[in-house]
Structures are given as C-alpha cells and as structure tokens.
Structure 1
C-alpha cells in the first residue's frame, strides 16, 4: 500500500521496487550507522529519512550486520498513525519501515551508545538493544546519516545532547586506532555546519555534508493535511536520497550528489566539510553498489517543494493548525484550540525565562536584548558553553525533548563568547528556573 493511495491519488504513483545486489567491490568493507535523534509523532520525518537511508544501503548490497540503526521507533506503531506499521518518506514512495533493524530504540538512542557503536565497544553494549557495533578496520569505510534537531555546536538526542567537539574527538580517536580508512557523515539538523567548523583536519579521510550553515534552521518537506497531518521528510534528507535513488551509485560522484542536495535544499545552505577530495569518489564507495536500478519516486520541482515545506521547529504548531482547520465537532475544535494555546504559551514562557536569565547575567536591558538576537558563528568558549547549556537543560527545560526551547541555546553561547563567567550563568538558571525542569512535548 502506498501513501499516495491514501491521499486519494493526490499525486501520481510511481513504482520504486528494488532488487538486493552484491556487496561493493571497493577495497575493504562498508559499515553504516543511521541515527534519528527524536521521539515525538511530530518528528515523523526524521525516522522516515533514516528508514529510507536503510533501504538504500540494503538494496545496494550492504548486509544488516554492517548497518546499525538507532531510532526511538514510536512512529510506525503510533496510535495516531493512519497507516499502522508503515512509514513513508515520499508521497509517491513505498513503505520505508519494512525490514528496518531496530538495533537501539527508545532511550537506548543516546550519545553514549552512539559512541560505543562507533568504537566497536561490544562489551559496553552487552545487554543493550541488539548489541551490534561497527567492527571496521583500517581499509574500511564508515557511512553515518544522522537526522534530528540541532543548535550551534550541538546535536540533540531524545533526552541528551552531543557536542561538536566531543564528536570530533571521537573521530580523531577512531582514526588513530585505525578504525577506518574513510568516514562520511550526512547531518540533517539546524546549525549542522557548526558541528564541523574548524574541528576536522583535511587529511584524515573524513568528509561531511551539513544540511545548514552555522546558524540556519532546516525545513521539513512533504507536509500534508489529512490523513497524516505531518511532514514525511526533512528537505535535506529527501534531496540527497532521492538523487541516490535515481542514479547509478557506481558512476555518480559524491560531489554530484552534493550539488543536487545543495540545489534542492534551497532554504538552507548545504555545506561540505573535512577532506573535500573525497567528493571525487563514487557514491558506491560509501553506500554500496547495485548492478541495475529502477525509476525512483517522482522528483518534485522547486515550486512543488515550496508548497509543502515548513520550518523544522514550527512543524508541531502547523500540524495542530491544520487539524483545527479540518476539525468537525465542537469538542475536537475546543481540544485542538486548547493545545495550540498551550503550545504558544510554552513558547512565550521560554522567551520570558531566557530574557530573565540574560538580564540577570548582563545587568542591562538593552545589552540583554542584543545578546538574545546576535548571530554567533563560532565557538571558542567550549567549557563555558557546556556548563551553560547543561545548567539550562538540568534546571529549566530538557533540550533533547523539545523543539522550541532550543532557541535559547544561541543566547547562552552569546553570553559565553562575550566573556561572562559560566558560574554566573549557571547561578542565573537556578534562580530564574524555580520550577522543576520541564519535559516539553513540542
């Protein structure tokens, strides 16, 4: 059953059958880690992207014992899913959930386990999920696709966060231990360029694409009304994957895939990082090889994509507004109106809390407003930034559990980069956030 059929043939169906093929003949083996760092229904798109990435790798001959999948796994069987047991990444595509390994799910999806997987720490993961790890060696390539929310120098897991410098240190550790020949990362999150800036040498076999530059937000794609009232993909994810679907990975170069992703992800700036010479390798070097390929789902024009995109952090609100517009009963309308009001109130509360924290630290209202709007494109005060973010996360709002409280994080960075002491910032969060740390749903 295709998603498009449920939309009453809103868009033309195009078959996308695949045939599993043999392993790539590239030197060494290919290993992959696929991560969706979110857990809410409104974040459907990130699990859909990761499931689609799995289907590409599997169809290209990479065996399941070489692919580790980390996702909360509460989308396919979610009580509000109008297609139980199925996930779609395109209006004209097939179910991408079928056959996907559930190696690490729920709260097992965290930075600590992600690092253990990449280190090949099977002992450390004994009794956790599938226990599967990357057992790569000096001639092997590692492909990582990671999707979710981010801020400057941060990627959010469901209840925790991964810092750019920690990830960079891990990659350097793996390289020193001869864990890989080359590694490629596709990161689909807001501010994802800041996860790589000035952190990776250009001679260690590391290459990455970020969905955005250092400060930009990302956008959701294929956002529809009934019956799903949700977004099927992240625009960066569907852009690079639909291109891979349509091309022969043996002949398409990584730089060609980058150019396509950059063109189609038109609302944020897709960027390259690390050893850019790797762009001259074929896609097959990291995603496997297939001897033949079939027509992919329809590739949408820029105009069609524009009609279905939503800023990533606004997806929960837009979904509720669409449901309210289509609601029939007075009871349903009242419930949805109440949810919208509650969501807007939470956003106002976050802004108010942020203002109070900054004013307490800066001591000047005009300066506080400047610190809340300044665009900071570089992190130098890593220790202060870590302490400040941890304090807000522990004392105010759980950053890995919300889509809008993350707007406060650039302000915390501005305080640190302006020379304020982290102890003062930490104390301000304790004074202002007199309520228990809130686990937000949107």
Structure 2
C-alpha cells in the first residue's frame, strides 16, 4: 500500500472522528425554540438616548422572526421615545436611516419606573413573587435544558452599567449570573452587552458556568453610536449592536457560529472600539440559531448593507453633546431657542467639571500627596473579585451623597475607575474610603464652578469645540475651539 493511500486513509479517519465530535456536540446542544428565552433591556431614559430603545426594538423583532415564542421574551424599556413630544414621527422608532418602524409590534413587559435594578435582577433570577403587580409580572422560567439570551444596551463605565433608577456593578451582575447557574436556570447562556467600558463587567466571569459573553468595548474604551446625522433625531443606533443584528439579518444563522459572528462584528467595529469575548469559549462553536431561534431567515443573504461602513460614529458618552451641538447649528442664530440649547450645553460642562474636581478631592484626602493622587487618578486597573464589595458600596455612597442633579450623577459614574483604583490600594480600607467620600461630599463649595477657556483641555478636542461654540452663542459671536498644548482655546 502506497504512502499516499495510507496518508489519505489516516486523514479520512481523523476527519470522520472530528465530524462525529462536532455533530455530537451540536446534537447534544440543539434545542427547540420553545426552550429558548430572551431578556432584552434598554437601561436609559430621555430623548437623547433614543438609540438604546431603538436597538432593543430591533432585537425584539429578530428573536421573534427567528422563532422564539413571545411568552419566552421579556422586554424592559422606559418607553419614552416613540410618543416623545420631540419625536417628528409620533409612534415610530427607527434603528437606521430609511429603515422600518421597529417600535411597531414590540410587546413591552416593563416600562417607566418598572425598569429598575431590582426588577432586572428579579427577572434574571426568576423571582415571580417579587414581580407581582409590576408590569406583566413575567420572569425567566427557564430550566436546565434551556438556552438563555440576554441583551443589554445603555451607558456604562469601568465596573458598572446604568439603569434608569440606579446602576449595577460587576460584583452584582456576576453574583446574579452565578446564582442563575446554581438554580439550574439554563444549559447555556449568551450575553451581549452594549455599553462604554462593557468589557470591565466580565473580567471575572468564570469559565465553568456555561456563559459566552461579548461586549461592545474593552474595559477602558467607549462604545460608539452610529446613524447620528438625521435631521431632528438623535443617534439611531449603536455600532456594536447594529453590527451583531445586521450579521443575523444578512447571514444564515443556522450555519453561522457565535465565533464567526464575533469575528464579523469585530471587523465592522475595529476602527472604533475593541469588541471582547469572555467565559466558556467552547460555546463559540455553537450556532447563533442555538440561542436566537432557528426559524429560517427569508432575507436574501447576498443583499448588501447600504452605506454602513461610511457612517460617522461618535463615542457614546459624547452623543448627548453632539446632538445638542447639532441642534445649536440647526436653530436660528440669536434666537431664544438657540440660547436655551447653548445654556444646556454650558450646564453639562459645568456639571462635568464639578464632578471632576470632587473626585480629585476625594482621592487627595486619601492619598495625601499630589503625586500619589495623580497615580490613582491616572491608573487603569481592572475589576478584581476581592474588590467588588468595596467598589459597590463606595460607588453607592458617592452617587447618593455627592451629586444632586441627574447630570452630576451620570458624570459621577464616569469616574468609577478612580474609585476602583482606591479600592485596589492595599493600605486603604473600605471604611476609610467611604469616610473620605462623605467628608468631601459634605464640604461646602466656597466658589462657584466656572470653566476658563484656557484651562487644561480635559474634555478633549471634540467637546472643546462644542463648548466654545456654545460660549460663542452666549457672546453673540461665532467661535470654535481647539486643544493646543492641553489647553482649550476659543477663537
């Protein structure tokens, strides 16, 4: 028998063994659509955050179109966009320019104040008793033979994600997921997260609890908004979310694995944020249909997305500023409306600076020297399991006791990295950190917070320009901003 024949037979045997393993794996994990569950949550409110509810509405239609029963889908969104007085298309929400009305036909289980941290955790943990008399009362009723898909979209920062009433830390989320596993609430779980710094939420995700998670960004990056150029509308979508949903819309998900989808999304977002994956990587060889539903997609898979790669993307935490800047340019120069928009922009910047200075004060109280304070302020540490309780408690005290307005609280969350850094210092106790926060928060402000145009350009070039444009409206002159030698100069 020739060497070629022997080699071919060995190759054939190895191929058949590999094929049988793959077939056995997929047969073992294949389940009917009746055993698939989806939890879809948009954690934001207000018109400027339009895109999050648009993302969730689009996701709802995807899981329904692919066969997950309505009774197995739990949708949480504030529902203040479709009929918002600022919506030029009453009763409609769009997730891309010229796209369909994704709001139509969406069954919302929890809206308004029912979209809360506690209710979200109750839904995940199947706590029906805790949801009695709230919304639809629906919670996950999945079992050990079911697949669960969770999609979350909103703002986030290092170690936390936001909801309308409060925030969830990585410590809380991981505890909830581990409890789901301990309660045999799933066989496999897929988690997609759209938020700035979303990679920080899964740094400590165990690899042995059958969860595969992907995120819009790594632990220290912003995620990005897209479709932000439509007149009278904020950004319509988020880049990572649009990417994973379009990958489903234009591919046969009965053959597309989760790893393949991840590579598609990674390629579509590589110029902005770095999508990440965490958990049990073996699940990556399963198909998207194993979680989203295996009903055939009737779209033409060869149909091309139009203009997607040419779209302007904006860091998500700057989206509010860019929308107001767009309004500033679209209103009549010198009008009362334009001055009102400029006032709103200026207030946002003042709140940003107030929070920045308050955070620096807390760090300085604890570290004692400017050099040590700067190290804590500038270090980019990652969430560790042993620091979870300190971080969770310190952030709760900081936001409750330091910040009085909604925008201050939102910008306060943007400094979570500093609190995480403090909790990581071996010489500092949780009690000491919390006491320093209380002392700094109770200190009476001696001077009104002001922004000098030539101070350190902490806001970045894009926001510097928006700040100066608003300042020009106040001064009845046209101004632009530029960061030069770390100074924001208006001219």
Aligned to 1:62: 68
Aligned to 2:422: 415
User: CA offsets per residue over residues 16-61 of structure 1, 9 Å max, x none?
Assistant: xxxxxxxx96386101100111112111111111111001011112
Match of 1:208 in 2: 213
The answer (yes or no) to whether the contact 2:204–2:383 under 8 Å persists in 1 is no
Indicate which of 169, 179, 182 corresponds to 1:173: 179
Distance 2:420 2:31 in 1: 46
Change (3 A) 1:359 1:318: same
Query: Secondary structure of 1:367's partner?
Result: helix
Give the match for residue 436 of structure 2. 428
RMSD, aligned α-carbons: 2.1
1:123-138 superposed matches below 5 A: 123-138=129-144
Distance in 2 between the 1:61 and 1:187 partners? 22
Q: 1:106 to 1:28 in 2, by over 3 A?
A: closer
Deviation, structure 1 residue 378 = 3.4
Q: 1:92 aligns with which of 98, 103, 106?
A: 98
Stretch of structure 1 that moved more, 237-246 or 116-125? 116-125
Quote the residue 1:9 is aligned against.
none
User: Following TM superposition, by how much is the alpha carbon of 1:250 offset from its aligned partner in structure 2, in angstroms?
Assistant: 1.2
In 2, the alpha carbon distance for the partners of 1:295 and 1:325 equals 40
| Matching residue of 1:104 | 110
CA 1:207 to 1:326, structure 2 compared with 1: closer, same or farther past 3 Å?
Answer: same
Bigger relative CO (Cα 8 Å, ≥ 6 apart): 1
Aligned equivalents of 1:409 and 1:349: distance in 2?
Answer: 15
| CA gap 1:27/1:57 in 2 versus in 1, 3 angstroms | closer
Write out aligned runs for 1:306-345 (5 A).
308-328=312-332, 330-345=335-350
Taking the aligned partners of 2:276 and 2:118, their CA distance within structure 1 comes to: 27
CA displacement, residues 300-347 of structure 1 (integer Å, 9 cap, x when unaligned): 567513xx2111111111111111111115212211111111111111
Distance change (3 Å), C-alpha of 1:130 and 1:102? same
Aligned to 2:165: 159
CA displacement at 1:427 relative to structure 2: 2.1
Q: Which residue of 1 aligns with 2:227?
A: 222
Report the 3-state secondary structure (helix = DSSP H, G, I; strand = E; otherwise coil) of the residue aligned with 1:231.
coil
After TM superposition, give the deviation of residue 77 of structure 1 in Å.
Answer: 1.1
User: What does residue 197 of structure 1 align with?
Assistant: 203
Distance 1:193 1:161, change over 3 A: same
For 1:214 and 1:415, locate their aligned partners in 2 and report how far apart those are by CA, in whole Å.
Answer: 17
Equivalent-residue separation in structure 1 for 2:321 and 2:34 (angstroms)? 47
Indicate the residue corresponding to 1:439 in structure 2.
Answer: none
Question: CA shift at 1:198, angstroms?
Answer: 2.6
Q: 1:79 to 1:339 in 2, by over 3 A?
A: same
Higher mean Cα deviation, 367-376 or 33-42?
A: 367-376
1:140 Cα deviation (Å)?
0.6
Distance in 1 (CA, whole Å) between partners of 2:366 and 2:341 is 38
| Aligned counterpart for 1:81 among listed residues 73, 79, 87 | 87
8 Å contact kept, 2:117–2:167: yes
CA distance in 2 between counterparts of 1:346 and 1:432 reads: 16
Q: Answer with 1 or 2: which has the greater Rg.
A: 2
Distance in 1, Cα, partners of 2:413 & 2:127: 31
Closer/same/farther in 2, CA of residues 60 and 28 from structure 1, 3 Å limit: closer
Does structure 2 conserve the Cα–Cα contact (< 8 Å) formed by 1:396 and 1:435?
no
List aligned pairs for 1:7-406, cutoff 5 A. Answer: 26=32, 29-201=35-207, 203-228=208-233, 230-266=234-270, 267-295=272-300, 299=305, 303-305=309-311, 308-328=312-332, 330-379=335-384, 380-397=386-403, 403-406=410-413
User: How much does 1:187 deviate?
Assistant: 0.7
**Cα distance change of structure 1 residues 298 and 107 upon mapping to structure 2, 3 Å threshold:** farther
Contact 2:399 2:412 (8 Å CA) reproduced:
no
Structure 1: 5+ residue runs without aligned partners? 1-23, 437-442
TM-score (norm 2): 0.79
Deviations 1:208-251 (A, max 9, x none): 111111211111111124121x1111111001001101111212
Q: Moved runs in structure 1, 4+ residues, more than 4 A?
A: 295-298, 300-303, 398-403
| C-alpha deviation, 1:291, in angstroms | 2.5
When the two structures are aligned, how many residues end up with a matched partner? 409
Structure 2: unaligned runs, 5 residues or longer: 1-29, 445-491
Determine which structure has the larger helix proportion and give its number.
2
Residue 403 of structure 1, CA deviation: 4.2
Q: Distance in 2 between matches of 1:263 and 1:302?
A: 13
1:210–1:270 Cα contact (<8 Å) kept: yes
